[in-house]
C-alpha cells in the first residue's frame, strides 16, 4: 500500500500510475480513527474496483468554531495498518495546509438538501464537506466513491452536488454498521463514558420502535417522530437536537409517509453529538 502525506501533486501522479494498470478506481473519503463502519465502505470498494484509494483528513472547514476539531480522535498509524490489511492500494493523509492555501476563498455550497437537519444545527458544515469532497474528487478522479448511510444527509448532499456539477463519479451508499447492542459505530463514540454509552442506546432503540410502528401501518410522520421523542425523553443526559421525518431523497418535509422516508435524529449525549437514522419504506432511493 502506498501512503502519501502531503503534496497533492504526488497524489495525482500516484493515482494516475495506478490507473494505468487498468480497471476502475474506488475512493473512500474518511476522517480516520477507523472502525468497522469505515471498513465496510473500504471492503465494498475493494470488491468492486481494481484500485481503492482512501483519504484520511480531519477537515477543519466542516467544523464550527465551538465544535470538536482539535479533540477529534486521531490514530494514523493504526488506520494505515487496518487499510493495508484490507488491500487498499493508496492512502492519502494530507494536513490542512496541503489542501488549503492560506488565502483559500472558493467554496462549494449546496442550497437544497443541506438546509435542514444537520445543516440547520451546524451552519457551514456542509459547505466544508462539499468543498473538501469536490477537491478530493478532482485529485483522485475516482470512478466510484463510497459513503455511509450513517451520515444520511451528507450522502444526499454529495449525490446532489455530483449531479448538479456534473462530476463524473458514481456515488455508492452503504448501510449503517452497528454494535451488537444497536449503537451506530462512530469515531465519536470514544468520547462516551460508560453511563453515557448506556444512555446512547436510546437512539437506536427509539428508531427501532419507530420502524416497528411504521411496519404496523402507521403513516403519520408526526406520530412516528413523537414515538421517538417519547423514548428519548426522561434521560437527563440526552439532549435532543432534532427528530425529523423527511422525504428520503429530497429531504423535504413530509406529513404522511406515502413514499420512502428517512427518520433522522441528532442527540447530544453529555457533550457528544451523535446522529442516527432509519429508512421507512423501500430503502435508499
Ligand atoms: P467519517 O470518518 O466520520 O467522516 O466517515 C467516513 C465515512 O464513513 C462516511 O461516508 C460515513 O458515513 C461512513 N461511516 C461512518 N460511520 C459509519 C457506520 N457506522 N456505518 C456505515 N458507514 C459509516
Report pLDDT digits (tens) over 9-60.
Answer: 999 999 999 999 999 999 999 999 999 999 999 999 999 999 999 999 999 9
Confirm if 60 and 99 have CB atoms less than 8 A apart. Answer: no
Alpha carbon of 117 to ligand 1 centroid (Å): 17
Residue to substitute in 35, 41, 155, 169 for testing ligand 1 pocket (most ligand atoms within 8 angstroms of CB): 41
Q: Report which protein residue has its CA nearest ligand 1's atom 6.
A: 30
Q: Cα separations (Å) of 173 from 50, 150, 164, 274?
A: 19, 10, 18, 20
| Phi, psi (degrees; rounded to nearest 5) at 200 | -65, -20
Q: Report which protein residue has its CA nearest ligand 1's atom 14.
A: 148
Please give the pLDDT value at position 6.
Answer: 86
pTM (2 d.p.): 0.98
Place of cell 490507473: 19
- pLDDT, average across residues 229-257: 97
Cβ(80) – ligand 1 distance below 6 Å: no
Does residue 285 carry a pLDDT above 60? no
Positions annotated as catalytic residues are 38
C-alpha grid cell, residue 243: 427528530
- Using 50, 70 and 90 to split pLDDT, how confident is the model at 234? confident
Q: Report which protein residue has its CA nearest ligand 1's atom 3.
A: 31
Q: Cα separations (Å) of 8 from 21, 56, 102, 117, 167?
A: 21, 14, 15, 33, 19
Residue 187 alpha carbon, nearest atom of ligand 1 = 3
- pLDDT, average across residues 195-199: 98
Report the distance separating Cα 274 and Cα 208, nearest Å: 16
Q: Report which protein residue has its CA nearest ligand 1's atom 8.
A: 38
Does residue 169 carry a pLDDT above 60? yes
pLDDT, tens digit (0-9, with 9 covering 90-100), for 104-136: 999 999 999 999 999 999 999 999 999 999 999
Residue to substitute in 151, 186, 284 for testing ligand 1 pocket (most ligand atoms within 8 angstroms of CB): 151
Amino acid at each position: 500500500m502506498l501512503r502519501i502525506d502531503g503534496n497533492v501533486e504526488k497524489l495525482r501522479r500516484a493515482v494516475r500510475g495506478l490507473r494505468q494498470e487498468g480497471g476502475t478506481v474506488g475512493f473512500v473519503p474518511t476522517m480516520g480513527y477507523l472502525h468497522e463502519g469505515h471498513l465496510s465502505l473500504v471492503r465494498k470498494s475493494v470488491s468492486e474496483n481494481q484500485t481503492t484509494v482512501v483519504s484520511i483528513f480531519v477537515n477543519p472547514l466542516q467544523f464550527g468554531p465551538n465544535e470538536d476539531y482539535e479533540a477529534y480522535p486521531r490514530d494514523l498509524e493504526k488506520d494505515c495498518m487496518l487499510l493495508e490489511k484490507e488491500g487498499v492500494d493508496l492512502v492519502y493523509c494530507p494536513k490542512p495546509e496541503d489542501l488549503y492555501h492560506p488565502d483559500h476563498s472558493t467554496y462549494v455550497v449546496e442550497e437544497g438538501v443541506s438546509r435542514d437537519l444537520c445543516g440547520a444545527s451546524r451552519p457551514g458544515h456542509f459547505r466544508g464537506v462539499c468543498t473538501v469532497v469536490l477537491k478530493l474528487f478532482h485529485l483522485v478522479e475516482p470512478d466510484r466513491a463510497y459513503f455511509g448511510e450513517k451520515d444520511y444527509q451528507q450522502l444526499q448532499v454529495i449525490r446532489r452536488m455530483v449531479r448538479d456539477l456534473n462530476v463524473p463519479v458514481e456515488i455508492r451508499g452503504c448501510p449503517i454498521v452497528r454494535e451488537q447492542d444497536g449503537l451506530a459505530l462512530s469515531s465519536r463514540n470514544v468520547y462516551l463514558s460508560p453511563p453515557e454509552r448506556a444512555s446512547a442506546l436510546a437512539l437506536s432503540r427509539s428508531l427501532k420502535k419507530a420502524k416497528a410502528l411504521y411496519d404496523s401501518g402507521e403513516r403519520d410522520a408526526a406520530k412516528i417522530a413523537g414515538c421517538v421523542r417519547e423514548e428519548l425523553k426522561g434521560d437527563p443526559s440526552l439532549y435532543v437536537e432534532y427528530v425529523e421525518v423527511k422525504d428520503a431523497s429530497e429531504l423535504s418535509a413530509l406529513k404522511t409517509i406515502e413514499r420512502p422516508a428517512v427518520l433522522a435524529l441528532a442527540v447530544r449525549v453529555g457533550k457528544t453529538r451523535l446522529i442516527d437514522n432509519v429508512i421507512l419504506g423501500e430503502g435508499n432511493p
